Amino acid sequence: MRVVFLTGIWPPDVGGPATHGPDFAAFLRDRGHSVRVVTMGNTEPTERPVPVDSIARGRPFVVRYPLVAATGFGRARRADVVYATATYAAAAVSAVGRPLVAKLVSDPAYERARRYGFFAGSLEEFQLTGNRRVRALKRLRTLALNRARRIVVPSRYLAEIAAGWGLDRSTIEVLVNPAPAPEEINPEPLDAQTFVFVGRLTEQKALPVALEALRDVDGAKLVLVGDGPERGQLERCAAEFGVTDRVRFAGALPRAQALRHLAGARAAVLSSSWENLPHAAVEALAVGTPVVATAVGGVPEVVHDGENGLLVEPNDPVAFAAALRRVLDDDALRAQLAAGTRSSIEAIGREPTYTRLEEILMEATR
């Protein structure tokens, strides 16, 4: 099978799609398939398990996005299927005359509406609103996704939301992000009071909530693994809350090093305002580390309160601080949560998950 793979981010970018991209491309390659990636980046790709075409992200959108579509279209002429984890409109153009499979990791209309300042509420509220600009974004989203023969969604939460967009429900399948093999991970030696966040430093992750909570938990430290547009603001927040000496910005790290940090943490933290189902939560559980998270989106589908982590309501630094304090002060609780981590994700290993995704791509070509 010949696959053209469109994705919005790729290493050295950080985030779930940047983790998924090289890993799944390598899986397909090792199964004997031909894969060609089309992506965007600020610098040259740092991982090339397969050939990668990268369009410079510094170009204006009106130049960059058509280039992604044109490059994808050209590559797809010699492909059997197009697989997209973002840039769905470009993927729909690329896949003219070819089947398209989309992995939906968010509501792209919502993400754009937030970015452009058209909407400031929650993802759930967004589904019910509709000024002129928002309606236009929703129409474009649905038009592009209706081109897909199959749509893969990592959480039941997002699958239900997507089913309300006028998409064919029979095309949607929930396939949770795969967990890495735990035996490959050697923990990073960290102070016993250290919490770790892994992911992009974006508004969605609501990290000022975590920093404010950290202020009220004596002795607690936080390592932020990742980079993104909010880094400068977060550095200022750390200073404002008086926790600069207890916060370390580790920057973007290769996945193996990020997993090592998660494995060495007291707990992983995820303070997001909204989510689908983040890779970092699954990765933390896979390496035996409990998760302190907000109960948003599909997070409760893998993080079970009192079993393998603690869940609190979003945008509540007092509640988040209380959860951090419980994990930090109660060794028995921390041990209990850690004992429940790996068994909670046994069914979503890399091999079965990617094998099913491979089958979906092949089914789309028939």
Q: Per-residue pLDDT tens for 226-280?
A: 999 999 999 999 999 999 999 999 999 998 999 999 999 999 999 999 998 899 9
Q: What is the pLDDT of residues 55-67, one digit of tens each?
A: 999 999 999 999 9
Same domain (yes/no): 11, 133: yes
Same domain (yes/no): 208, 318: yes
Same domain (yes/no): 23, 145: yes
CA 78 to chain centre: 30
Q: What would the two tokens of residue 225 be?
A: 């693994």
Same domain (yes/no): 117, 243: no
Q: What is the pLDDT of residues 97-127, one digit of tens each?
A: 999 999 999 999 999 999 999 998 899 999 9
Same domain (yes/no): 67, 107: yes
Which residues does 268 contact at the CB level (< 8 Å), separation at least 6?
195, 196, 197, 198, 262, 280, 281, 284, 289, 290, 291, 292, 293
Same domain (yes/no): 210, 332: yes
Same domain (yes/no): 118, 204: no
Domain total of the chain: 2
The rounded distance, in Å, linking the Cα atoms of 347 and 366 is: 28
CATH number where 46 lies = 3.40.50.2000
Q: Which domain holds residue 60?
A: 2-177+349-364
Same domain (yes/no): 333, 353: no
